[in-house]
Amino acid sequence: MSRYPRRALVASPTPPAQAARAELADAWDWCSLDDADLVVALGGDGFMLQTLHILLERRRPIVPVFGMNLGTVGFMMNEWRRHDLDGRIERARAFQVTPLTATAVGVDGRVHTLPAINEVSLLRETRQTAKIEVKVNDRIVLDELSCDGILVATPAGSTAYNLSAHGPILPLGSQMLALTAISAFRPRRWRGAILPDRARVSLRVIDAGKRPVSAVADQREIRDVAQVDIAMDRARELTLLFDPEHALDDRITMEQFIA
C-alpha cells in the first residue's frame, strides 16, 4: 500500500503545466488539497513556492510535496515524467525545509506576520539610501548600515536572491542563515555574515519617514516598515520529495562549482 494514498494534483496556469495536468488526470484518484497526504505540483520554482505558502496557510500538519518541472529552472523540482510516477514517489528522498517568520511593524504601527521559505529582504523604496540598524540576538552588531537593502536567507533560498547579492551558498542541513547586504555603502567592506539558524535578527529602519523601506518575504511585500524581526519557524517544517538522483542537497552543493 502506498505511503501516500490520498494525493492532490496542482498545476501552474501555464500551457505546459496544464497539458501535463491533463495527462495525469486519470493516473490517480486525486483528492482536494485539504484532504491530501501528498501534493504533486506541476510548474516552476515560483509555483512551488506558491504551493508551499498555501500549505503553510491552510494545512496542519503540512503534507509533503513532490514537484515536477514545467517551468524554466526548476531548482526545487524533479524532472517531468509521467511514467512510473507511483514508483518515483515511493522511492523519493525527503528533505525538510524550515521557513522563516518575519514580524514587520509598519511606520503606522500595524503588525504583519509573514512566512518566508527562501528569504526575507528589506529594500529601499526611493532614491534615498536605506539606513538600517542590525541586531542579532538583541545585540547591536551594526549601528548603521547604509545600503540598498539587506536580506536573511535560508539554506534552501541561499542560491536565489541571496546568491545574486553575492551572499554565500549554504548547504542544506548546515543549520545556518545568510545575512547579506545589498549594495552596502557604509561600512564599505561589510558584505554580510553567516549566522546559526537559531539566531534572531532584528532590522530597524533609521529615519523611516525620509528613507522608506519595504519588507519582502518571498513574494509578499509590506511597504513602509519601521522594524522587522526574523527567526526560524520550527513549528511549520516543510517536506519536499526528490528523486534519489535529483536531490536538493546535492544541487545546492554543486551550485558552488558553477562558473
Binding site for NAD(+): which residues? Answer: 45-46, 118-119, 148, 156, 159-164
Do 238 and 55 meet the contact criterion of CB atoms below 8 Å apart?
A: yes
C-alpha 85/C-alpha 198 separation (Å) is 37
Contacts of 92 (CB under 8 A, 6+ apart): 66, 78, 241, 242, 243, 244
For 23, the enclosing helix (H) or strand (E) is: helix 15-24
The three cell numbers locating residue 11: 498545476
Indicate the burial class of 210 (C-beta count within 10 angstroms; 0-12, 13-18, 19 or more). Answer: exposed
Catalytic positions:
45
CA distance 232 to 199: 8
| Separation CA 184–CA 199 (nearest Å) | 22
Q: From CA 131, how far away is CA 233, in angstroms rounded?
A: 27
**Binding site residues, as ranges?**
45-46, 118-119, 148, 156, 159-164
Beta-sheet strands, E only, within the chain:
7-11, 38-43, 65-69, 93-97, 100-106, 111-116, 119-124, 130-136, 139-147, 149-153, 176-182, 192-196, 201-205, 213-217, 220-222, 225-232, 238-242
C-alpha distance from residue 162 to each of 150, 192, 200 (Å):
9, 10, 18
The C-alpha cell that represents 65 in the structure block: 510535496
